[in-house]
Structure 1
Amino acid sequence: MKIVYLIQTHKNPEQIYRLVNIIKESSPKSYILISHNPYFCKLDKETFGNLTNFEIINNQGGRGDFSLIKGYLDAVHWLFSHNIKFDWLINLTGQDYPTQPLPKIEKFLAETEYDAFLFHFNALSDCEKNCWGSKEGRDRYLYQYRKLAESLPPWQEGLIKFSRRIINNIQPYIRVHTSYGITAGIRANFTPFNEYFACYGGSYFHTLSLKCIQYLYYFCNQNPELITYYQKTCLPDESFIQTILINSELFNICNDNKRYIDFTNSRQGHPRILTVNHYSHLISDEIHFARKFDMSVDSKILDMLDARILQTIAAKEEGLVR
C-alpha cells in the first residue's frame, strides 16, 4: 500500500523540511508532493537532498477563496498525469505534523472498511454537527462574492467591521465579510443546491482513498459549472470536497478526519498554535495528525512528537513491540 502526502505550503522552509523529514523517516516508501506558493518564500528541491518519491510544484496560494482548492486539484492532476501510483491521499500544510508513527496509520488505512475520513455536516441546516450554524452556511455558500480589498488600515477595518454587522443583519440580499480581506457578496439567483444535491461543510483536512480522489477528479472535469459557482463563494475549501463526495452516495465515509485542531477562542477562523501543553491531547490513537504548529513559538512539542514516533518505530524494528 502506498500513501501520497500532499503538503500545501507558503512559508517557513525550515518547518517544511522538518515535516518532510519525519514523514520520510517514518514512511520511506510514501510519496510526498509539495504544492508551494513561492510568493512568500522560495523552496528548492535540492534543499531536501536526494529524496526519492518526492516532488515540489509551484502553485498559487491563498485563504478564503478558491485558490486553496485550485492548488489541491492541480496537484491531483499532476499525480494522475505523472502516473503516480497510490492508495490513499492525506492532505497537510507546512504547519501540520503526525502525532503517531506513520506505519501505524498506514496499517489502519490498509485494514479500514472506510473509503474516506472526512468531517462533514449539512451546511444549510442546524444539525448537531453544524458548528457554524445554518446562517453562517447560507452566508458563505448562497452568495456570490467579490474581493474589494486585500487589507485596510486598522481604523478603516474597524469601521468596516462595525458596518458589516449592521448590513448583514438588516437585509438578506448583500453580505460583507472581513476575515480574509474585504469581500462583498450578492444573494445568488440560482445555486447548485437542491433536495438532491445538498450543500455540505466541514474541515478542509482529510484522508481520501484513491477511488474518492478519482471520483472527485472526474466530477470536476465533468461539472465545471460547480467550480465556477464555488469560485465566488466564501471559504469554498470548507465545503467543496464534502459537497461532491457526500452527494455521490458512493462511498463509506467516516465523519471524522482524524485531526486535532484547537479552535478555543479562535479569531477569524485561525486555530491556536499547539504547544507542549497540548501533548496529552495529541497522543490518542484516534488522532493521526494535528495543526497548527510553529517552531518559532514552541519547537519542543515537535521534539516530543518526533521522540514518540521514532522510538516506537525503533522498538518495533527490534521486536520489542508487537
Structure 2
Amino acid sequence: MKLAHLILAHAQPDQLDRLIQALQHPDADFYIHVDRKTDLEAFRNLLKHRNVYFVKKREKVYWGAYSMVQATLNGFEEIIASGVPYGYINLLSGQDYPLKSPDFIHDFLEKQAGTQFMDYLSVMKEWQEAIPRVKKYHLIHYSIPGKYALEKLLNTVLPERKSPEKLTFVGRSQWFTITFEAVKYIVRYLKEHPNVSRFFKMTWGVDELVFQTLLYNSAFKPAMRNDNLRYIDWSEGKASPKTLTVADEALLRSSGKLFARKFNSTTEPEIMDILDAKFLTV
C-alpha cells in the first residue's frame, strides 16, 4: 500500500529532514508544503531523498485562517495530480514524529483499509465553545483595512450565519490520516460547492472543522473512527500543545498512537533519540 505523507512546514528544515528519515519506506512519498513566508532555499537539501516533492502552489499561512486549509488542499491536489494510487494520505506538521516504525505504520493502515482516522466532536453538543466559529462572521482570512472593525459591525447588524448545504459541524484536531478516496471527495466537493468554501473562509480556526465536517456529512461517515492516531498534550492550557521531552517517554510508550506532536530537535533532541532507539524498531 502506497502512503503519501503531506507535511505542512514553516521552520526547522533539519528537524523536518529527521522526520522524513524516520518515516522512510519503499511505499512512502513525501509532499512538503513550505509556508510562502519562509525562504524555500533552506529546505532544498530535502530533495536528496528520492521520494520528496515540494508542493508548488505555496500559501502564506496564518494561524486560525483559511490559508491553513488552502495549503492542505494545494497538497491534496498535487498528490491527486501525481497519478499515484495512494492508499492513505497522512497529514503531519513539521514538528510531528512517529512513535512506531514505518513498517508498523504501513502494516497497520493496510489492515485498516477504508477507515478514516480523525478527531471529531459535535460543535453543537460536545464542543460548544466552537459555536461562535460557525455562527459569527470572521474576517481573519481577508487582507482588508479595518477588517476587525468591519467584523464587529457585521456581527452586530447581521443575523447569525446559517450552515451551508445544511452541514452538521464537527471537528477538533486538524491532523488526520484518511484514504485517498476521501481526499479526492473533499477536493471535488469544495470545487462543486463554492458556497461552502466561502462560508469556511469566514470561519475562525477552520482547519479544525472543514475536513471532518465534509466527511461526516458524506457517505464516508460510517468509516470515520474518532481517533487521529496522534498523541498531543494540551495540559499546559496554551494555544499550542506542549513540547514533548524525555519526561514524557512513559506516556508516549503507553499511548498506543502512531505519531506524536510537538517536538523541538533544537531544544529537546533527547526524546527524539529515545524514540529512534526504542520505538521505531517495533
Q: TM-score range by the shorter chain?
A: 0.7 to 0.9
The residue matched to 1:213 in structure 2 has which SS? Answer: helix
Residue in structure 2 matched with residue 219 of structure 1 by the alignment: 189
> Quick one: distance in 1 between partners of 2:16 and 2:95?
8
Asked if the contact 2:138/2:203 (under 8 Å) is kept, the reply is yes
Return the offset for 1:147: 3.8
Give the TM-score taking structure 1 as reference length: 0.78
Amino acid in structure 1 at the alignment position of 2:237: S
Matched, 1:294 2:253: no
Asked if the contact 1:96/1:291 (under 8 Å) is kept, the reply is yes
> Quick one: distance in 1 between partners of 2:111 and 2:19?
25
Give CA deviations for 1:107-160 in whole Å, capped at 9, x if unaligned: 1111116520111111122x3xx3xxx1x222111111124999xxxxxxxxxx
Matched, 1:4 2:7: no
Residue in structure 1 matched with residue 32 of structure 2 by the alignment: 34
Residue in structure 2 matched with residue 228 of structure 1 by the alignment: 198
CA root-mean-square deviation = 2.5
The residue matched to 1:144 in structure 2 has which SS? Answer: coil
Give the unaligned 5+ runs of structure 2.
none
Residue in structure 2 matched with residue 191 of structure 1 by the alignment: 162
Give the unaligned 5+ runs of structure 1.
151-175, 177-182, 313-322
Q: Which has the larger radius of gyration?
A: 1
> Quick one: distance in 2 between partners of 1:265 and 1:50?
37
Flag the 1:149–1:210 CA change in 2: closer, same or farther, 3 A.
Answer: closer
Correspondences of 1:138-149 after superposition (within 5 Å): 138-147=131-140
Residue in structure 2 matched with residue 258 of structure 1 by the alignment: 229
Counting aligned pairs with the same residue, the percent is: 24
> Quick one: distance in 2 between partners of 1:74 and 1:34?
10
Amino acid in structure 2 at the alignment position of 1:265: E
Return the offset for 1:309: 4.2
> Quick one: distance in 2 between partners of 1:265 and 1:286?
22
Correspondences of 1:103-122 after superposition (within 5 Å): 103-112=103-112, 114-122=114-122
> Quick one: distance in 2 between partners of 1:148 and 1:69?
11
The residue matched to 2:40 in structure 1 has which SS? Answer: coil
Return the offset for 1:189: 4.5
Matched, 1:305 2:278: no
Amino acid in structure 2 at the alignment position of 1:48: L
Residue in structure 1 matched with residue 101 of structure 2 by the alignment: 101
Return the offset for 1:70: 0.3
Return the offset for 1:45: 5.9
Asked if the contact 1:64/1:235 (under 8 Å) is kept, the reply is yes
The residue matched to 1:62 in structure 2 has which SS? Answer: coil
Amino acid in structure 1 at the alignment position of 2:234: F
> Quick one: distance in 2 between partners of 1:294 and 1:61?
20
The residue matched to 1:302 in structure 2 has which SS? Answer: helix
The residue matched to 1:286 in structure 2 has which SS? Answer: coil
Return the offset for 1:14: 1.2
Asked if the contact 2:66/2:141 (under 8 Å) is kept, the reply is no
Return the offset for 1:254: 0.5
